[in-house]
Structure 1
């Protein structure tokens, strides 16, 4: 599979997730020069991922192209973030992952509802043009502080059903709880059921 993304950190995460299922994934930039993707919508996760996959498929028509669109939802802030979280945090001038994490934590006070989750949507466009997609949710609450050393960013903030943040779990455990792990498993099951 070839990942349609210019985000190296996202690509590494996707590679690690799919490696747990025995699937090798590479970034499209290993095959062709970097491209500028079409502008994403603020409302349609599926269309965002599909547009990225189809865009790269133009240049690599014989490859299975995988694209991801991820959103973050916070019960305390129903009208903020979602699909636009990365753009919103960037617009605030936050320059590092730690600054983004600190900002999210600063929005909460002790009595606020901390229910939150990440949602990943994968679209896989096959060489024959067939399209598969899957959605995975991970996380149930936002932690009180960053925790864990196995990953960075939001993985240090989102707690799963087992009480651990994603960053407190090695990948072999994390794929069972994380948004991308669950989406990958579902995607691979859909493909297997087609055969």
Structure 2
């Protein structure tokens, strides 16, 4: 089955392909289908934003479409950056800048108050009448420094145990634990027999 990934994020596209292609899906980028749409995320939840993105690309292409909206929720920061994860701290900040900003806001905060989770809402539109949603989470905590060279976004500060951040894991290791990996696993189970 061909799926258009409703994302301009090259890292997410790599993850979609790494997880879905072994399951028999062909994941197309927006460039593959000559669609250059950057959807404004006006929803108030990850699920609403994922649905907005999927709907826009489905309308533009008429092809089965998958979209993800995801982000980091930090307990000490009252759930921030949340749905604003990509825009946290204002325009022009790099992933590294955003990680350092969170670390600065959490200076001196003890480990037991550094709880955090990654959340991924997946919205899948197979056709006009068949729309499905999945929500995956991964619990962890915010480290006190950046650790690792892999991954992207907040991966270097999101610790899954005392020594490993998402950025120290291989892509395959991260997929087994991650919010996006879990949401896509739910999708796989749901779609068994429909391909």
Same fold by TM (over 0.5)? Answer: yes
Q: 1:79 to 1:171 in 2, by over 3 A?
A: closer
Distance 1:103 1:33 in 2: 34
Match in the other structure for 2:70? 70
Q: Deviations over 1:121-146 (max 9, x none)?
A: 00110035301111111241011211
1:104 aligned residue (94, 102, 105): 102
Runs of 4+ in 1 over 4 A off after TM superposition: none
5+ residue gaps, structure 2, are none
TM-score scaled by length of structure 2: 0.86
Match in the other structure for 1:189? 189
Aligned residues: 191
Match in the other structure for 1:59? 60
Moved more, 133-142 or 7-16: 7-16
Structure number with higher strand proportion? 2
Contact 1:161-1:177 within 8 A present in 2 as well:
no
Match in the other structure for 2:37? 35
Match in the other structure for 1:143? 143
Q: Deviations over 1:63-118 (max 9, x none)?
A: 220011113211101163211222233x2x45311111111111112334110011
5+ residue gaps, structure 1, are none
Structure number with higher helix proportion? 2
Distance 1:132 1:188 in 2: 12
